[in-house]
Structures are given as C-alpha cells and as structure tokens.
Amino acid sequence: MNIGWQEILLILLIALLLFGAKKIPDLAKSLGKGIKEFRKGLKEIENPEEETKTDKAKTEKEP
C-alpha cells in the first residue's frame, strides 16, 4: 500500500483548510523542533558520557 502524489496532495489541502495558511509554517517549525529534541534525547541515551562532555565544553565557552 503506497501513498501516491494524489493522496499527499489531498492531505495537504485538508491541512490547509483546517489550519489556514498562516498556521502551517508555525506547525512545521514546531514539528522540526520536536524532532530535533527527540534525536538529541536518543543520542543522550546512546552515549551519555560523550554528550555530557560536549555540553560542559559548550557551557564553558559561553559567557
């Protein structure tokens, strides 16, 4: 069961009708931030020692 371009277009049109043209960029930005935080969390779980070292180095460089 593959999703074709017609189905994707239909989903995008429905999203446009539901949220409006002004809200969609905000939703995409929020989704991107959420994905970024999720990946960061996964990296911390996989390599907790490396993340704490890089976090300490970042905080020492910032004023």
Separation between Cα atoms, residue 55 and residue 39, nearest integer Å:
15
pTM across the whole model: 0.51
Say which residues have a Cβ less than 8 Å from residue 44's Cβ, sequence separation at least 6.
51
| pLDDT digits 0-9 by tens, 2-50 | 889 899 999 989 988 988 888 888 988 999 999 999 999 999 888 877 6
Among candidates 5, 8, 59, 46, which has minimal Cα distance to 38? Answer: 46
Length of the chain: 63
Distance, in Å, from the CA atom of 45 to the CA atom of 23, rounded to the nearest integer, reads 33
